Amino acid sequence: MERLDLFRGLAARRSDEIVVTTMTATLQWPLVSTHPLDFDFLAFGMGHASDFGLGLALARPERKVIVLKGDGGLLMSLGSLVTIGRHGPPNLLVLLLENRGYEMTGGQPFSSKVDFVLLARGAGIEKVERIEQLSSFELELPRLLSEPGPHFVVLPVTNSEPLPPVAHTDHTSRVRNLRRALGVDGA
């Protein structure tokens, strides 16, 4: 499915969930969403978007945390699946954008043999699924947003759209803005 179509579908159904994006998702998600609870994790730490999202979800149990990350990023922190399997709270939803390569750096492919569903299940995450079609994703999304997780969803994506340039906004401001949106004291 086209990644931007997937993002449009998610943005249309998202309400007060936190959305953490990283790598190419940080370039395209802003085309469909300017929500104060959007958090651009780009350059916060390679491979660690879902770790940060896990911390957020643990801190804010009343609110769903959605992480949009790529499969290349997951390979940089595979152990995080084990941590989610052990500590992942019901309000964590990881959407793995599977394109089988490092798109941000030119699309270099990695091993085609990797099965992310098996990896996640083997790490102890119980609610793991693979959704191939956009129509299925849009059908399942209300359940994924309301049903207790943690959920780990593998979404094979393509992209035929030109990517906007990387905008290196101030990291401290990103943090301050999210804390303010969450009503955290001292933000």
Least distance in angstroms from the C-beta of 110 to other proteins: 19
SS (H, E, C) the chain: CEHHHHHHHHHHHCCCCEEEECCHHHHHHHHCCCCCCEEECCCCCCCCHHHHHHHHHHHCCCCCEEEEEEHHHHHCCCHHHHHHHHHCCCCEEEEEEECCEEHHHCCEECCCCCCHHHHHHHCCCCEEEECCCHHHHHHHHHHHHHCCCCEEEEEECECCCCCCCCCCCCHHHHHHHHHHHHCCCCC
Tell me the site size for other proteins, rule CB under 8 A: 32
Least distance in angstroms from the C-beta of 56 to other proteins: 4
Interaction of residue 19 with other proteins, rule CB under 8 A: no
Instruction: Quote the CA–CA distance of 46 and 33 in Å, as a whole number.
Output: 23
Interaction of residue 134 with other proteins, rule CB under 8 A: no
Using CB under 8 A, pick the residue from 36, 79, 122, 142 that binds other proteins: 79
Using CB under 8 A, pick the residue from 44, 90, 129, 136 that binds other proteins: 44
Select the span of 55-63, 100-108, 140-148, 150-158 touching other proteins (CB under 8 A). 55-63
C-beta closer to other proteins: residue 104 or 141: 104
Select the span of 9-17, 82-90, 99-107, 153-161 touching other proteins (CB under 8 A). 82-90
Q: Which residues bind other proteins (CB under 8 A)?
A: 43-48, 51-60, 77, 79-80, 82-83, 86-87, 171-172, 174-175, 178-179, 182, 184-185
